Amino acid sequence: MTDKTANPSQTKLAIVTGGSRGLGRNTALNLAKKGVDVIITYHSNQTEADTAVAAIQAEGRKATALQLDASNVSSFDPFVAQVQQALAKTFGRDRFDWLVNNAGTGHYAPFEQTTEQAFDEMVNIHLKGVYFLTQKLLPVIADGGRIVNVSSGLTRFTNPGSSAYAVMKGGVEVLTRYLAKELGPRGIAVNTVAPGAIETDFGGGKVRNSPDLKRMIAEGTALGRVGLPDDIGPMIASLLCDDNRWVNGQRIEVSGGVLL
C-alpha cells in the first residue's frame, strides 16, 4: 500500500490554481522562494503560464503548468490524471502537500441587474469549482497537508455591486470550516485567506486602473493605501509553512485594516 503521509524530509510541493498571474503567481513565486516546488494552473494563456514557470525555476525550484477550467467540474477527473502524471514525471512522487484554491474571476453589477447566467458563472468557478476540485484532489494530497481557500474582504464589509461574487466567497468560508473538521483526521489543516482590495488585473483591473477608487480605499484603510500582490503572496506562503501548523479552520483577512 502506498504511504499517503508527507515525508518531512521531502521538498514540499504545492498546487496553486490560477497561478499564472496576479495573486496566484505571486503566491507561487513566494512559495518557490521558501524552497517549495509548484504546480500552477492556467485557464487559457499558456505563454503567461510558461513565464510564471520560468520565474519559479529561476528560484531554483521545480515547476510545471497545467491547463484547468476551474468552473468546469467535468474537466476535473482528466485534470487529476494530469496531476498524477506530472507528480511522477516532473517531481518523482505520487502526492503533493499543499493546495491553494485561488483561481477566479470578478463580477460587478447591482443586485437587481445581476443575471442568472452571471450568478451561475460565479457559482461554478468560486464555489462549485472549489468544492469539487478539492474533493477530486483528496486522493493525491498527502496526509498532514494544507489547503488555503482564497476568499475576499467583501464577506465582512459590503460594497454594492459585488453581491454575487461575495455570496460565493461567503460559501467558501463556510466550506473551509467543514473541510478543517472533516479532513482533521488526516492531519490536513484548512484555512481561508481574505484579501482586501489589491492592485492586479482581477476584474479587468478595476482597482488598479481607477485612481479615484484607489484613493477612496486608501482613505478607509488603517495603513493608508491599496494592497499589492506582494502583500498577499508572502502571507499565504507563510501560512502554509510549518511555523503555522496549528492554525486551522480560520478566516484570516489581509487588508491593511480596511473599514475597521
pLDDT for position 206: 72
Residue at 204 is within a domain: yes
CB-CB contact of 98 with 143 (8 Å): no
Average pLDDT score over residue span 97-120? 97
Q: Give the Cβ contact number of residue 201 at 10 Å.
A: 12
Query: Region 107-135: what's the mean pLDDT?
Result: 97
Res. 253 pLDDT band, cuts 50 70 90: very high
- 48 assigned to some structural domain: yes
Please check the confidence at residue 88 and state whether its pLDDT lies above 80.
yes
Hey, how many other C-beta atoms are within 10 angstroms of the C-beta on 191?
22
CA–CA dist 160, 9 (Å, integer): 48
Q: What confidence score (pLDDT) does residue 213 get? A: 84
Query: Is 154 a domain residue?
Result: yes
Is residue 221 in some structural domain?
Answer: yes
Of all residues in the chain, the percent with pLDDT exceeding 70 is: 95
pLDDT higher than threshold 50 for residue 2? no
Number of domain units in the chain:
1
For the chain, the average pLDDT equals: 94
Cα–Cα distance measured from residue 102 to residue 235, given in angstroms and rounded to the nearest whole number: 14
**In the predicted structure, residue 212 carries a pLDDT above the cut 90:** no
CATH number of domain containing 218? 3.40.50.720
Could you tell me if residue 23 is inside a domain? yes
Indicate whether 127 belongs to any domain.
yes
* Residue 27: per-residue pLDDT: 98
pLDDT in tens, 128-158: 999 999 999 999 999 999 999 999 999 999 9
Q: Is the dihedral of CA 80, 84, 90, 93 positive or negative?
A: positive
Residue 209: per-residue pLDDT:
76
> Which residues are known catalytic residues?
165
Domain extent for 134: 13-254
pLDDT classification of 115: cutoffs 50, 70, 90: very high
Indicate whether 8 pLDDT > 70: no
- Higher-scoring residue by pLDDT: 202, 15: 15
Question: Is residue 3 in a domain?
Answer: no
Q: What is the pLDDT of residues 73-85, one digit of tens each?
A: 999 999 999 999 9
Amino acid at 30: N
SS3 per-residue string spanning the chain: CCCCECCCCCCCEEEECCCCCHHHHHHHHHHHHCCCEEEEEECCCHHHHHHHHHHHHHCCCCEEEEECCCCCHHHHHHHHHHHHHHHHHHCCCCCEEEEEECCCCCCCCCHHHCCHHHHHHHHHHHHHHHHHHHHHHHHHEEEEEEEEEECCHHHCCCCCCCHHHHHHHHHHHHHHHHHHHHHHHHCCEEEEEEECCECCCHHHHCCCCCHHHHHHHHHCECCCCCECHHHHHHHHHHHHCHHHCCCCCCEEEECCCECC
Is position 1 within any domain?
A: no
Q: For the residues 239-245, what does the mean pLDDT come to? A: 97
| Dist CA 138 CA 176 (whole Å) | 14
